[in-house]
């Protein structure tokens, strides 16, 4: 097994790849580690793949390349890179030279010597425009609040993992932003953080726009729901459905009883169907039934899932 696997997902970064590979090689020679560098080309339309081919030809077996037929996204690139990694420790970093390979040895030591399962970089001093920094601060604060994981830079591309972590988690969609949350769901709770150096972008431009904020918000809801109710959706939908059904039913019964009481006493009254509250109660009843059925269907789907009884075993004696 190799000491270290370095995974670099990329999209149209041809100018920086050779420089990044040379920088990584210098650091690895100083450390004396066995290593591999895996470039995952996420459907680049420039000359990135040609550069990777040249780098692989110079260092076969050490530098590896994987190319997608078209752009699938960073999560897909990381998933494929994790699957291909052969190192005891796996490090991910961006290809734009904003992440420094000089940080890799310290990140690896935190995994090997300090016993962390995952160490996330913290770009404390970022060389990005305010339009990128401020939304990032809001995103990280929200994620800390929802997840309970005290990381300052959840989406930092520079991270180190124990091998078991990357072989246990499944990254899909846009979930690369929440890998620490996915890791904790699988039982890897020793999650650390290290302040890392952040460089200004040297070539090209950022591939991420404002839409990532919307996607990030929706993915946070998804991962939070799956963490709490992924195996038992009835706990959420059944509870809400039952409460709404009982609440709507109670209001409907109260309106009917009120009418009967007033009618028996000869008091002025309104027809039950003439009161807006009656229709609100009916809608609440219907929604309660729908939510309960949603939870029930979720349980049926879970019962028939192929991985319903697959659990991560930490150790056995």
Kindly report the pTM of this predicted structure.
0.76
| Residue 79, domain member (yes or no) | yes
User: pLDDT digits over 204-238, tens only?
Assistant: 666 555 566 677 777 777 777 777 777 788 888 99
> How far separated are the first and last CA of the chain, in Å rounded?
24
Q: How far is CA 272 from CA 15, 124, 248, 275, 276, in A?
A: 74, 62, 14, 6, 9
What residues have CB less than 8 Å from 100, skipping those under 6 apart? 158, 196, 197, 198, 199
| Residue 147, domain member (yes or no) | yes
- As a whole number, mean pLDDT of residues 249-265 equals 87
263 vs 291, more confident: 291
Q: Are 97 and 140 in the same domain?
A: yes
pLDDT higher than 80, residue 95: yes
pLDDT higher than 60, residue 311: no
| Residue 274, domain member (yes or no) | yes
Q: Are 73 and 160 in the same domain?
A: yes
pLDDT at 130: 65
- Domain of 122? 2-229
pLDDT at 282: 92
pLDDT higher than 80, residue 309: no
Q: Are 42 and 97 in the same domain?
A: yes
Q: Are 108 and 158 in the same domain?
A: yes
Q: Are 193 and 268 in the same domain?
A: no
Query: What's the token pair of residue 249?
Result: 């039913």
What total number of domains does the chain contain?
2
Domain end marker among 229, 249, 277 = 229
User: pLDDT digits over 129-179, tens only?
Assistant: 666 677 778 878 888 888 888 898 888 999 999 999 999 998 887 788 889
| Residue 142, domain member (yes or no) | yes
- CATH assignment of the domain containing 105: 3.90.550.10
| Residue 316, domain member (yes or no) | no
Domain end marker among 229, 245, 263 = 229
Q: Are 172 and 251 in the same domain?
A: no
Domain end marker among 183, 202, 229 = 229
The DSSP-derived string for the chain is: -EEEEEEEEESS-HHHHHHHHHHHHHHHHHHT--EEEEEEE-S-SSSHHHHHHHHHHHSBTTEEEEE-SS---HHHHHHHHHHH--EEEEEE--SSS-B-GGGHHHHHHHHHTT--SEEEEE-SS--S-HHHHHHHHHHHHHHHHHH----S-TT-S-EEEEHHHHTT----TTGGGGHHHHHHHTT---EEEEE--BPPP-SS--S--THHHHHHHHHHHHHHHHHHHSS-HHHHHHHHHHHHHHHHHHHHHHHHHHHHHHHHHT-----GGGSHHHHHHHHHHHHHHHHHHHHHHHHHHHHT-TTTT--------
Q: Are 55 and 80 in the same domain?
A: yes
Q: Are 282 and 221 in the same domain?
A: no
| Residue 217, domain member (yes or no) | yes
């Amino acid at each position: 097994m190799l000491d270290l696997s370095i995974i670099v997902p990329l999209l149209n970064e041809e100018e920086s790849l050779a420089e990044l590979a040379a920088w990584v090689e210098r650091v690895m020679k100083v450390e004396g580690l066995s290593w591999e560098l895996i470039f995952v080309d996420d459907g680049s339309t420039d000359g990135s793949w040609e550069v990777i081919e040249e780098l692989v030809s110079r260092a076969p077996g050490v530098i590896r390349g994987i190319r997608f037929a078209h752009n699938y996204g960073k999560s897909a690139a990381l998933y494929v890179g994790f699957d291909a990694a052969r190192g005891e420790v796996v490090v991910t970093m961006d290809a734009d030279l904003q992440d420094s390979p000089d940080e890799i040895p310290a990140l690896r030591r935190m995994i090997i010597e300090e016993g962390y399962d995952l160490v996330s970089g913290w770009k404390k001093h970022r060389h990005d425009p305010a339009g990128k920094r401020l939304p990032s601060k809001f995103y990280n604060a929200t994620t800390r609040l929802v997840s309970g994981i005290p990381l300052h830079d959840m989406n930092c591309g520079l991270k180190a993992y124990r091998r078991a972590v990357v072989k246990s988690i499944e990254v899909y969609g846009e979930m690369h932003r929440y890998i620490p949350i996915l890791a904790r769901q699988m039982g890897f709770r020793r999650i650390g953080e290290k302040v890392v150096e952040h460089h200004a972008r040297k070539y090209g431009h950022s591939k991420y726009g404002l839409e990532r904020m919307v996607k990030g918000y929706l993915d946070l809801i998804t991962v939070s729901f799956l963490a709490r109710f992924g195996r038992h959706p009835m706990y959420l939908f059944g509870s809400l459905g039952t409460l709404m059904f009982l609440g709507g039913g109670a209001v409907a019964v109260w309106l009917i009883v009120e009418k009967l009481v007033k009618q028996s006493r000869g008091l002025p009254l309104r027809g039950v169907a003439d009161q807006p509250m009656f229709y609100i109660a009916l809608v609440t009843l219907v929604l309660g039934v729908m939510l309960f059925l949603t939870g029930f269907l979720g349980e049926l789907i879970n019962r028939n899932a192929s991985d319903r009884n697959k659990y991560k075993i930490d150790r056995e004696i």
